Amino acid sequence: MVFRDSPVCLRGGVEHDCGTCALAKFVPEDKKEERTPCHHIPLNEAGDTVASLYAESTQEQLDQALHNWLEETIKRLQVESQDDASAP
């Protein structure tokens, strides 16, 4: 599983409160109670998610969508961090 098996996931193979995860803020409110909430994060303007791409796409399409989302999200967070640091 893309997020769950990555170092970003705090689960480590055990149950935990996904609400404490760094990815939780990206999960839509109506998906926060899903078994793997992070797999419902919209990755693009079309609304594709890890869950939907697992069901309907190739591994390559999933990897590309996730890669694009991660790059875009990191850039946005860096800008927000710089803006916060320069605010009075």
pLDDT of residue 76: 92
With contact defined as beta carbons under 8 Å apart, do 66 and 51 qualify? no
Task: Report residue 65 as tokens.
Answer: 């969508």
50 CB neighbour count, 10 Å cutoff: 21
pTM above 0.85, yes or no: no
Residue 3 has what pLDDT? 67
Going residue by residue through the chain, which has 88 residues, state the pLDDT in tens, using 9 for 90 and above. 666 666 666 655 555 677 778 888 999 999 999 888 989 999 999 999 999 999 999 999 999 999 999 999 999 999 988 877 776 6
Q: pLDDT per residue over 20-41, tens digit each? A: 788 889 999 999 998 889 899 9
Hey, where are the domains in the chain? 18-86
Q: What angle do CA 45, 1, 8 make, to 5 degrees?
A: 80
Q: Do 1 and 18 form a contact (C-beta atoms < 8 A)?
A: no
* Separation between Cα atoms, residue 24 and residue 73, nearest integer Å: 13
